[in-house]
Structure 1
Amino acid sequence: MSEMNEQTAFNAEDLNFNDLQLEDFDTDLAASAPAMASMPERDLSFFRKIPVTVTLEVSSTEISLGELMKAGEGTVIELDKLNGEPLDVKVNGSLMGHAEVVVVNEKYGLRLIDVVDSPINSLEH
């Protein structure tokens, strides 16, 4: 029974990395790359129906909780952006680009000025 309780110690000399053919591993990966490239593209049109929230963020600022607690009706809190600067357009909280405010049919709208690089842009039309 005492033989079963003995633990086998790990011996680093038992490892022989020379038997591994690592250079063949790299060529196997390179050989499979063209096969992956020739795979047909998936139809991603179903993504177009997923609803997202588009937000036009005017600006923000950091103030202390004490200052916020003193704020009341008529209090002005100065924001970080200057008048006339493009506003941030966010999609589900992630920056999509910058825009300016416009009025369309008596409703506010936005005119995109620039679109930042994002995964959304890579989806085909």
Structure 2
Amino acid sequence: MTDIVETQVTESAAVAAAAALPSVDALTAGPAERPSPVLVSAFAAAVVADLGGAGGRIGLLVAPGLVAALADTPLGELDLTAVVQPALDAAAEQLGRSAQGARIVELGAIDLEMGETYIASVIADSAPVAALLVSDTAAAPAPAPSASDAPFVGTAPTSTAAGLADGPRPARGIEMLHGVIMDVTVELGRTQMSVRDLLALTPGTVLELDRAAGSPADLLVNGRLIARGEVVVVDEDFGLRVTEILDDNAGA
């Protein structure tokens, strides 16, 4: 009976995690069950997070496709833990708990990192994208607050059923990357010169670039081409009016 309850709880948590994972297509959570020895071999990375309250731990195995996508974006490599944290948060809330910060662990050490027996649910579209791991302690029903935990008269009650920690929750997920400073460059064109010609440069020298007059300038972020536009003057400064956003293939 215990396993039945734990698998049902894990499946509900996996559904919540699937809704929070980045994906073009809708993700579905498969049946929850004790993991087979070959489960880990289908994935490329592992992330775990401790749970507040009654304890326990949850984990997420991530497929090679998602790992590769995060490693090669127009904005450079994205932090795996930041991207999957919302999925762990959603799963933890479904369990009636709160997730602490995610951390990457070695795939081969996932059993040791989970710390106890656990249940897994594979999350997929047409192929596996991730697998949610829930330890037996985490899958057990969250304990009801004792009388000593009840709030005093006149204070606002706290919600443990929603898995909320005391105070506001910190910003997590992709929003953690919003403050990252990126080098943005506008390039009018390029040319090649010999060392002799470079040493012969003097004020007034005109360099011919590989771009025709009137052609759009390139917008590069950390050296990667992501857009094109036309150079404009804003007050007394140059600016770029973006006219085209490039997809991954065009910017490669």
After TM superposition, the score normalised by the length of structure 1 is: 0.60
Q: How many residues align?
A: 92
Percent sequence identity is: 34
Q: Judging changes above 3 Å, is the alpha-carbon distance between structure 1 residues 67 and 38 closer, same or farther for their aligned structure 2 residues?
A: same
Give the equivalent residue in structure 2 for 1:32. 122
Instruction: Tell me how far apart the structure 2 counterparts of residues 36 and 64 of structure 1 sit (CA, whole Å).
Output: 50
Say if 2:231 is the partner of 1:101: yes
Instruction: Tell me how far apart the structure 2 counterparts of residues 70 and 85 of structure 1 sit (CA, whole Å).
Output: 28
Instruction: Tell me how far apart the structure 1 counterparts of residues 234 and 217 of structure 2 sit (CA, whole Å).
Output: 17
Instruction: Tell me how far apart the structure 2 counterparts of residues 73 and 106 of structure 1 sit (CA, whole Å).
Output: 23
1:1-125 mapped onto 2 (5 Å cutoff): 29=42, 32-34=122-124, 36=129, 43-118=173-248
Instruction: Tell me how far apart the structure 2 counterparts of residues 76 and 105 of structure 1 sit (CA, whole Å).
Output: 26
Task: Pick which of 99-108 and 87-96 moved more.
Answer: 99-108
Return the letter of the residue paired with 2:194.
Answer: S
What stretches of structure 1 move > 4 A for 4+ residues in a row?
35-39
Return the letter of the residue paired with 2:180.
Answer: I
Shift of 1:105: 3.0
Q: Judging changes above 3 Å, is the alpha-carbon distance between structure 1 residues 76 and 105 closer, same or farther for their aligned structure 2 residues?
A: closer
Give the equivalent residue in structure 2 for 1:11. none
Give the equivalent residue in structure 2 for 1:17. none
Alignment RMSD, CA only?
2.9
Contact 2:218 2:227 in 1 (8 A): yes
Shift of 1:107: 2.1
Shift of 1:102: 1.4
Instruction: Tell me how far apart the structure 2 counterparts of residues 106 and 75 of structure 1 sit (CA, whole Å).
Output: 24
Give the equivalent residue in structure 1 for 2:114. none
Per-residue deviation, residues 15-55 of structure 1 (Å, max 9, x unmatched):
xxxxxxxxxx69x95x835374586xx72111111111211
Q: SS of the residue aligned with 1:66?
A: helix
If you compute each CA radius of gyration, which structure gives the higher value, 1 or 2? Answer: 1
After TM superposition, the score normalised by the length of structure 2 is: 0.32
Return the letter of the residue paired with 1:92.
Answer: N
Instruction: Tell me how far apart the structure 1 counterparts of residues 200 and 235 of structure 2 sit (CA, whole Å).
Output: 39
Contact 2:190 2:209 in 1 (8 A): yes
Q: SS of the residue aligned with 1:97?
A: strand
Q: Which runs of 5+ in 1 are unaligned?
A: 1-24, 119-125
Return the letter of the residue paired with 1:113.
Answer: T
Q: SS of the residue aligned with 1:32?
A: strand
